[in-house]
Amino acid sequence: MSHPITAAADRSRAIPAHTGARLDAIRVALTTLGDESRRLERIGFELPLARCHEQRRYWSFLHALYSLPVDTATPASGVDGEWPCR
């Protein structure tokens, strides 16, 4: 796993237990990564920009996953307190 571009996008953090807090954490990660992406684009740093894009895709997927109604998003093996796909 690569290092997080922003502190809010750190996958080693625990997943918040409450649905609203979980979605808030994901939105903050997406917002900070969007801001960082614009900054990297202005500067012209291509490799960090590609890493940022990769992390934005991951957090966008999580946003879609955790935005599903609870009954359709229930994991088969239960939640272990970590972000998926580490």
* Sequence-separated (6 or more) residues with CB below 8 Å from residue 45: none
Domain count, the chain: 1
Whether 61 maps to a domain, the answer reads yes
Q: Is residue 46 part of a domain?
A: yes
Residue 59 domain boundaries: 40-68
Instruction: With a cut of 60, say whether residue 14 has pLDDT above it.
Output: yes
Taking the C-alpha atoms of residue 26 and residue 43, their distance in angstroms, rounded to an integer, is: 26
- Which one has a higher pLDDT value, 20 or 2? 20
- Would residue 83 count as lying in a domain? no
At 4, the pLDDT band (50, 70, 90 cuts) reads: confident
pLDDT of 75 > 70? The answer is no
> Residue 86 to residues 28, 39, 44, 54, 78: CA-CA distances in angstroms?
19, 26, 29, 13, 16
